[in-house]
Amino acid sequence: MDTDALDRWKAREIARLGVEGFNRQSSETLQTGHKVHSLIEDYLLSLHSKNYNFTPEEFIATRDHSPASNPSTFDRAMRLWDSVSHVLARVTRVCVVESSVHHKTLEYAGTIDCIVELDGVLRIIDWKTSKRRKTIFDLYDNPLQIAAYTGALYTDDRFPQEVLPTRGSVVVMYDDAPADVFDFSKDSLEDNWKLW
């Protein structure tokens, strides 16, 4: 990742919001991301248990809608849920949800968001949020991260062959638009692996 660009962005935001405003915005962004990730995780675990056969819309209707301590965080999490619902509705099988992975040869580890069958293809998915629309060029190191997770999965004995993905996806959720699914083929993952 271009850390210089990140530093420039942070400096611009602090100039615009002040240090306190920047810290508040950063905290709200983290809280919102955690909330929507938790909702997605709960939904996928419910699908995985086979005791649940609701659409994403029906699922969210069963959830506690109390805004807790920060109503703006809750409201944004609900908008992000609306953004990603059309993707979740296309999940037909859940293999792994929020799990650590370890590459036993290269000795690195990470936490994957999930391995699911989406549109009939088994894939590792990384969920992201954004306030602005992204293109594939705005994903920075995300494809590399997916490739590294996939490489680790193939050496981690805890994951049986039948759950090993052949594709990867970065799903970016927005406040005001349907989520984008950026798909990476096996060849693309291998190309990113070589970069890593």
**104 is an active site residue:** no
Kindly state the tokens that stand for 142. 């995300």
**126 is an active site residue:** yes
Which candidate in 104, 126, 141, 191 is catalytic?
126
Which candidate in 2, 82, 104, 113 is catalytic?
113
Rounded Cα–Cα distance for residues 143 and 141 (Å): 6
**113 is an active site residue:** yes
Angle between helix 142-153 and helix 186-195 axes, rounded to 10 deg? 100
Outline where DSSP puts E strands in the chain.
91-103, 108-118, 121-130, 167-174, 180-184
Which candidate in 2, 10, 119, 128 is catalytic?
128
The widest CA-to-CA distance across the chain, in whole angstroms, is 51
| Catalytic positions | 113, 126, 128
